[in-house]
Amino acid sequence: MTNGSSSDSDTPAVAGCRAGVVDLLGLLAYAELVGFFRLSDDAERAPTLAGKGELAGLAATEYAHYKRLRDHLAGLGIDPEAAMEPFVAPLDAWHARTEPQSWLESLVKAYVGDGIAGDFYRQVAQLADDETGELVAGVVSESGRAEFVAAQVRAAVEQDPTIAGRLSLWARRLVGEALSQAQVVAASRVELAALLAVTTDADGGAEDGKSIGGNGGTGAGPADLATVSRIFAKLTDAHAARLEAMGLSG
């Protein structure tokens, strides 16, 4: 770890952080793989050829990100499928709860839902080793996606202002569901919760890693879930900016 010395490299807290990094990369790898499938479906439903092409390109980028994460895990001697497996059920449940009912809703989900998840991943990766931090930052980059989605939604709202309220409500629901998903994952993955605790400790939100394994090591305790909530609270500015970019801030 970047901030750990050799003398404490074998302490339980640091070991937990290392396992938390594997969890983070496994979670993100599966998210990128699912993102590839989802954007491929969105491309097929796009109403214009230009939209189909743009979304197909974004789907290809998601797959490239997945492959990069998978290869990185393999290079660390980690079985990528084993690293992803704990997150299949919670991520699949998240997507089932947030199934878009229209193409515009799918665009808002691709921008807002994935965007705030990316912000969360970046926040958690801050105290990982430099290589992991750079990898996560590159994988969750919104370049290309943000411009296309914001322009499409903004144009639709300008053409029919009555849809703005419904899409704004949808965006807020996505954020709420994302927080619930993050809490479920943290509650079941004590190693990832340890990484969350260290991240919060660096920002003055926890003391001495006390939130690690708050329920005796079998999973995350109430302090860990509060940590997730605090991290998400820091992401509201970026969320507001995304709404404004899509013409939904009003």
Statement: residue 166 has pLDDT above 60: yes
Both structure tokens of 199: 């991240």
Render pLDDT for 121-147 as a digit per residue (tens, 0 to 9).
887 777 677 888 889 988 887 666 778
Separation between Cα atoms, residue 224 and residue 45, nearest integer Å: 40
Separation between Cα atoms, residue 121 and residue 30, nearest integer Å: 13
CA 69 to chain centre: 14
Phi-psi region of 64 (alpha: psi -120 to 50; beta: other; left: phi over 0): alpha
Query: What predicted TM-score, i.e. pTM, was given to this entire model?
Result: 0.79
Q: Which CATH superfamily is domain 9-245 in?
A: Ferritin, core subunit, four-helix bundle (1.20.1260.10)
Please, where are the H alpha helices in 87-144?
88-97, 103-108, 114-125, 130-139
pLDDT at position 143, please? 62
pLDDT at position 114, please? 82
In angstroms, the Cα distances linking 85 to 30, 31, 94, 145 are 8, 11, 15, 27
Query: What average pLDDT score do residues 80-104 get?
Result: 92
pLDDT at position 224, please? 56
Render pLDDT for 24-66 as a digit per residue (tens, 0 to 9).
999 999 999 999 999 999 999 899 999 999 999 999 999 999 9
Render pLDDT for 236-246 as a digit per residue (tens, 0 to 9).
777 888 888 89
Statement: residue 14 has pLDDT above 50: no
Both structure tokens of 46: 């796009």
Query: What average pLDDT score do residues 208-233 get?
Result: 51
Tell me the CB-side half-sphere exposure of residue 98, using CA atoms within 13 A. 30
pLDDT at position 162, please? 93
pLDDT band per the 50, 70, 90 thresholds, residue 8: very low
Mean pLDDT value across the chain: 79
End-to-end CA distance of the chain: 43
pLDDT at position 250, please? 54
Statement: residue 90 has pLDDT above 80: yes
DSSP 214-227: TTSSSS--HHHHHH
pLDDT at position 198, please? 58
Both structure tokens of 7: 């003398």
pLDDT at position 9, please? 44
CA 64 to chain centre: 17
Tell me the CB-side half-sphere exposure of residue 29, using CA atoms within 13 A. 24
- In residues, how long is the chain? 250
